[in-house]
């Protein structure tokens, strides 16, 4: 049975892995993180829980709609909000799905039944140990892996730049009382706030606060205590309750400025090496899904 190593257990890697496993390929998914999900992340701190990466998922393609419906039927996702897109108001009101109990439930469900090794950073690629490799980290990290293995880095990837996001996870002493569970302030430094209790993620009042890209660019390498305090102060007028505890997280490669629209890409190597991830198909969870499917198709073609 041919085998494929997939680096990255986010939406792109897990989607590729499931599609390949369904075709009888022996798949191993490895991720440097402690858990699966990548930027679809949920963190627990005491009794509080926080979605601190992707907040919700919207659906525009038939294949992703089918995937979401299957996850809804399995009790893994549900519609959290129905709101118009800020970037595309012409699309009207869209359903926004969230993981039941947290966004990480979605990748956890996708990983079920697959061979997945977390806590495993990949640097050296062992070309003799597998028939094909799929790399799904954000572009700068994929470029690092290619370079470390003497493989050419495609010019298209070099040009990709990412926005960062600074996230603050705050536990409150009473419900946050955000209208419809979320706020997107009109001006910075806070871009988005979500009430994890309203979302059904946290048993106790808890807020996720995301910075604007501009604030993140200016503060990401500075003292986290200072930017955490600044974001909490800026968020304060928007929520009820007092903050009892707060922790922070840096998303250095939060969202790419531009994407390539090719689904996935191969690079010259001793065995088929396919590059995938949201940067190849749209800077959202759905883009990562589309890219994962494209990567699986490329691997199947190259192995046939």
Ligand X SMILES: Cc1cc2nc3c(=O)[nH]c(=O)nc-3n(C[C@H](O)[C@H](O)[C@H](O)COP(=O)(O)OP(=O)(O)OC[C@H]3O[C@@H](n4cnc5c(N)ncnc54)[C@H](O)[C@@H]3O)c2cc1C
Other beta carbons less than 10 A from residue 292's beta carbon = 33
> What residues does 228 pair with on adjacent strands?
none
Write the burial class of residue 170 (CB in 10 Å: 0-12 exposed, 13-18 middle, 19+ buried).
Answer: buried
CB closer to ligand X, 24 vs 257: 257
CB closer to ligand X, 118 vs 266: 118
Sign of torsion, CA 228 230 236 237? negative
3-state secondary structure of 128: helix
Give the shortest CB-40-to-ligand X separation in angstroms. Answer: 5
Kindly give the interhelix angle for 11-22 and 285-303, rounded to the nearest 10 degrees. Answer: 40
Sole residue written with tokens 């909490």: 232
Q: How many residues does the chain have?
A: 304
Give the shortest CB-173-to-ligand X separation in angstroms. Answer: 25
Cβ 197 vs Cβ 238: under 8 Å: no
Dist CA 78 CA 285 (whole Å): 15
Give the shortest CB-50-to-ligand X separation in angstroms. Answer: 11
- The footprint of ligand X (CB under 6 A) covers 7-13, 30-33, 38-40, 53-57, 121-122, 136-138, 141, 145, 165, 167, 210, 251, 254-255, 277-278, 283-285, 287-288
Dist CA 138 CA 245 (whole Å): 31
CB closer to ligand X, 5 vs 48: 5
Give the shortest CB-30-to-ligand X separation in angstroms. Answer: 6
Give the shortest CB-238-to-ligand X separation in angstroms. Answer: 18
CB closer to ligand X, 220 vs 283: 283
Give the shortest CB-157-to-ligand X separation in angstroms. Answer: 13
Sole residue written with tokens 């090496």: 273
Dist CA 107 CA 99 (whole Å): 9
CB closer to ligand X, 13 vs 181: 13
CB closer to ligand X, 40 vs 190: 40
CB closer to ligand X, 60 vs 244: 60
Q: Which two tokens stand for residue 273?
A: 């090496």
Give the shortest CB-55-to-ligand X separation in angstroms. Answer: 4
């Amino acid at each position: 049975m041919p085998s494929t190593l997939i680096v990255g257990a986010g939406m792109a890697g897990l989607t590729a892995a499931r599609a390949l496993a369904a075709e009888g390929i022996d798949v191993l998914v490895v991720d440097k993180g402690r858990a699966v999900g990548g930027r679809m992340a949920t963190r627990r701190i005491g009794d509080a829980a926080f979605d601190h990466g992707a907040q919700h998922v919207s659906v525009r393609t038939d294949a992703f709609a089918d995937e979401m419906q299957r996850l809804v039927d399995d009790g893994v996702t549900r519609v959290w909000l129905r709101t118009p897109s800020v970037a595309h108001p012409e699309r009207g009101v869209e359903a926004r799905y969230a993981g039941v109990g947290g966004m990480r439930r979605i990748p956890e469900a996708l990983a079920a039944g697959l061979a997945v090794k977390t806590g495993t950073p990949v640097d050296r690629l062992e070309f003799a140990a597998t028939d094909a490799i799929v790399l799904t980290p954000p572009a700068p990290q994929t470029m690092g892996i290619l370079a470390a293995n003497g493989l050419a880095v495609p010019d298209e990837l070099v040009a990709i730049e990412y926005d960062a996001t600074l996230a603050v996870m705050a536990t409150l002493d009473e419900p946050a009382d955000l209208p419809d569970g979320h706020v997107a302030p009109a001006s910075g430094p806070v871009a988005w706030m979500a009430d994890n209790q309203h979302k059904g993620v946290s048993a106790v009042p808890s807020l996720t606060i995301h910075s604007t890209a501009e604030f993140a660019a200016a503060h990401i390498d500075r003292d986290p205590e200072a930017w955490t305090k600044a974001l909490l102060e800026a968020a304060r007028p928007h929520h009820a309750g007092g903050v009892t505890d707060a922790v922070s997280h840096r998303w250095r490669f939060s969202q790419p400025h531009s994407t390539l629209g090719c689904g996935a890409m191969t690079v010259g190597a001793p065995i088929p090496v396919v590059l995938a991830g949201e940067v190849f198909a749209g800077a959202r969870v759905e883009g990562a899904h589309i890219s994962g499917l494209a990567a699986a198709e490329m691997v199947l073609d190259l192995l046939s």
